[in-house]
C-alpha cells in the first residue's frame, strides 16, 4: 500500500503570498495545489470609471510591473479606436521604459529570489545597484517610478532632450558593465552569440556559479513542464506566437483564451485552446531561437536550468537592443498625436498585450461612451501558476511532479517567479 501524506507550505519572499499544498506518494510529489488567498478587486474598481482613469489605476495593480500594466492598458484603450496615430518616437520611448522595467525585475529575481535559495544570502545587495540604475533610466523618460502614467492614448507626455538621451545611454552602459563584472565575467557581445553551454559554465560570475551548483546537485533536468510556449506581446525585439518544443507558429488570437475559476484560490486559470502554456523569458527565447537557450533546450529541455539561463541572458539582450533603440529616436517627431475622436464619446472593445518580466500580460476593455463597462486582466502568473487538477495540471504544477521534497519544489516554483498581487487583481 502506497504511503500518502500532504504538506502545506506558505511561499514567502514573493510579491504577495501563496500556499502550496504538496501531496506525496512513496516520498515523491504526486500533486500540488496552488492557492492565492488575498484578493484586491482591481477589475471591479475599474468598472463605471472614465476610460482614462485606467491609466492611473492599472499601474497600481503591482509595484513590480506597474509599467507593463500601464502599457497594456493604454494599448487596450487605443485598440478601441477605429484608427489612431502613434509616432515612432512615442513607440520607442514606450518600449524603452518597458525594457528597463524588465531588466530591473530580472536582476531582482536573480539576486533576491534565487541566489538566497542556494545559500548566497550575502549577495542580495548586488540587486541594489542595477535596480537603482534602471529606476533612474525610467525616471529620465517617464518620471517617478513605479506608478507613473506617462503613456497616454495617442503617445507619451514626455519630451526628452538630447542630454537626457545621453544620460540614459550612460546608465545602460553602466548596467552592462555591472552584468559583465558580476553576472557573467565575459564580453557581452560574445555571450549573446554563444552557442555552447560549456563556454558559459567555464566563466566566472554569479550565473555560472548558480548553474554549476545546480549541476553539482543534479538538478539540471528538473522542473520540466509541457514544452509549450506562448508570447502575446510584440515589440521591435519580442516576437509574437506559440511553440510546441521547437515548432513555432506565429499566428495566435486572444479570442482563443479561456479563463476558469478556482475553488480554493482567488487566481483564475488561463488556457489557450484548452491547453496550458508557459509564458516568460524562456518562451520568448524559444520563439526568437536565441542560440544559448536553444543549446540549453536541446540538452535539458524546458527545465529550471533553461529557464534560469533564458531570464538572466534576456538582461543582456534588452540592454543591447535598448542601446540600439536610443540611436533611432528622432527628437523632432511629436511625442503625442491627439486622437480625432474624443474618448469621452468612444464606444468599443480593445485588447492590449505586452511582455512583462514574468511573461505575457493582457488587458481587455469594453467602453460605452467613454465609460469602462468591463475590464479584464490576464497576468503571467495566471499562465504559469494555474491550479489545474490531477488529470490536467498547470505549467508549474507539472514541473514539480516527481520531486522528492518541498524545498526543491519551491526552488522550481520560484524559477517561474510569482506575483500574487497581479494575479488576484
Give the pLDDT score at 267.
81
Q: Given a cut of 70, is residue 12 above it in pLDDT? A: no
Residues 6 or more apart whose Cβ sits within 8 Å of residue 65: 101, 105, 356, 357, 358, 361, 419, 422
Q: Which tens digits make up the pLDDT trace of 282-326?
A: 999 999 999 999 999 999 999 999 999 999 999 999 999 999 999
Coil, strand, or helix at residue 145?
A: coil
Pairing of strands 151-152, 155-156: antiparallel
Q: Which tens digits make up the pLDDT trace of 267-293?
A: 889 999 999 999 999 999 999 999 999
Give the pLDDT score at 263.
73
Give the pLDDT score at 424.
58
Q: Which tens digits make up the pLDDT trace of 203-242?
A: 999 999 999 999 999 999 999 999 999 999 999 999 999 9
Mean of the per-residue pLDDT values of the chain: 92
Question: How would residue 422 be classed by pLDDT, with cut points 50, 70 and 90?
Answer: low
Q: How far is CA 116 from CA 108, 124, 209, 257, in A?
A: 12, 7, 13, 36
d(CA 9, CA 5): 13
Question: How would residue 1 be classed by pLDDT, with cut points 50, 70 and 90?
Answer: very low
- C-alpha cell, 75: 494599448
d(CA 43, CA 57): 10
Domain range annotation of the chain: 4-423
Percent of the chain with pLDDT over 70: 95
Mark residue 369 as left, alpha or beta (left: phi above 0; alpha: psi -120 to 50; beta: remaining). left
Whether this model's pTM surpasses 0.85 = yes
Q: Given a cut of 90, is residue 4 above it in pLDDT? A: no
Q: Which tens digits make up the pLDDT trace of 157-205?
A: 999 999 999 999 999 999 999 999 999 999 999 999 999 999 999 999 9
The answer to whether the beta carbons of residues 18 and 382 sit under 8 Å apart is no
Tell me the fold of 4-423. Cytochrome-c3 Hydrogenase; chain B (1.10.645)
Residues 6 or more apart whose Cβ sits within 8 Å of residue 355: 68, 98, 102, 231, 232, 233, 235, 238, 284, 361
Give the pLDDT score at 197.
96
Q: Given a cut of 60, is residue 392 above it in pLDDT? A: yes
Question: How would residue 27 be classed by pLDDT, with cut points 50, 70 and 90?
Answer: confident
Give the pLDDT score at 423.
66
Residues 6 or more apart whose Cβ sits within 8 Å of residue 173: 323
End-to-end CA, the chain: 43
d(CA 291, CA 19): 36
Q: Given a cut of 80, is residue 39 above it in pLDDT? A: no
Neighbours of 178 (CB within 10 A): 17
Give the pLDDT score at 425.
62
d(CA 6, CA 24): 6
d(CA 234, CA 75): 12
What integer is the mean pLDDT of 101-116?
A: 95
Give the pLDDT score at 35.
84
Helix axes 162-178, 304-328, angle to 10 degrees: 150
- Identify which has the larger pLDDT, 424 or 423: 423
User: Which of 100, 110, 105 has the alpha carbon at shortest distance from 183?
Assistant: 110
The answer to whether the beta carbons of residues 152 and 74 sit under 8 Å apart is yes
Amino acid at each position: 500500500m502506497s504511503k500518502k501524506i500532504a504538506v502545506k507550505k506558505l511561499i514567502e519572499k514573493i510579491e504577495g503570498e501563496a500556499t502550496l499544498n504538496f501531496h506525496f506518494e512513496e516520498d515523491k510529489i504526486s500533486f500540488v495545489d496552488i492557492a492565492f488567498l488575498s484578493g484586491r478587486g482591481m477589475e471591479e474598481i475599474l468598472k463605471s470609471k472614465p476610460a482614462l482613469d485606467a491609466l492611473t489605476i492599472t499601474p497600481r495593480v503591482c509595484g513590480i510591473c506597474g509599467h507593463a500594466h500601464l502599457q497594456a492598458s493604454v494599448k487596450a484603450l487605443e485598440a478601441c479606436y477605429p484608427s489612431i496615430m502613434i509616432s515612432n518616437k512615442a513607440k520607442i520611448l514606450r518600449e524603452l521604459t518597458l525594457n528597463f522595467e524588465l531588466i530591473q525585475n530580472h536582476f531582482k529575481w536573480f539576486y533576491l529570489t534565487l541566489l538566497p535559495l542556494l545559500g548566497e544570502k550575502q549577495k542580495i545587495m548586488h540587486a541594489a545597484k542595477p535596480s537603482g540604475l534602471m529606476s533612474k533610466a525610467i525616471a529620465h523618460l517617464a518620471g517617478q517610478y513605479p506608478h507613473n502614467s506617462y503613456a497616454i492614448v495617442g503617445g507619451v507626455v514626455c519630451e526628452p532632450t538630447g542630454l537626457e538621451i545621453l544620460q540614459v545611454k550612460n546608465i545602460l552602459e553602466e548596467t552592462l558593465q555591472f552584468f559583465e563584472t558580476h553576472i557573467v565575467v565575459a564580453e557581452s557581445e560574445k555571450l549573446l552569440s554563444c552557442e555552447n553551454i560549456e563556454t558559459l559554465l567555464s566563466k566566472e560570475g554569479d550565473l555560472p556559479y548558480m548553474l554549476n551548483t545546480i549541476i553539482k546537485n543534479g538538478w539540471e533536468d528538473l522542473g520540466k513542464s509541457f514544452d509549450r510556449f506562448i508570447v502575446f506581446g510584440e515589440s521591435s525585439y519580442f516576437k509574437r506566437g506559440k511553440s510546441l518544443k521547437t515548432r513555432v507558429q506565429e499566428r495566435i488570437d486572444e479570442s482563443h483564451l479561456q479563463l476558469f475559476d478556482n475553488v480554493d484560490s482567488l487566481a483564475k486559470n488561463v488556457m489557450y485552446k484548452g491547453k496550458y502554456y508557459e509564458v516568460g523569458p524562456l518562451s520568448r527565447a524559444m520563439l526568437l531561437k536565441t542560440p544559448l537557450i536553444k543549446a540549453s533546450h536541446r540538452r535539458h529541455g524546458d527545465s529550471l536550468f533553461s529557464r534560469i539561463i533564458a531570464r538572466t541572458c534576456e538582461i543582456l539582450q534588452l540592454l543591447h537592443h535598448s542601446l540600439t533603440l536610443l540611436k533611432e529616436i528622432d527628437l523632432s517627431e511629436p511625442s503625442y498625436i491627439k486622437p480625432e475622436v474624443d474618448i469621452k464619446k468612444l464606444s468599443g472593445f480593445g485588447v492590449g498585450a505586452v511582455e512583462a518580466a514574468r511573461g505575457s500580460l493582457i488587458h481587455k476593455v469594453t467602453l460605452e461612451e467613454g465609460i469602462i463597462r468591463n475590464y479584464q486582466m490576464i497576468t503571467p502568473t495566471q499562465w504559469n501558476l494555474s491550479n489545474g487538477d490531477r488529470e490536467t495540471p498547470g505549467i508549474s504544477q507539472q514541473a514539480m511532479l516527481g520531486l522528492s521534497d518541498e524545498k526543491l519544489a519551491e526552488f522550481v516554483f520560484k524559477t517561474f517567479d510569482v506575483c500574487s498581487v497581479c494575479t488576484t487583481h
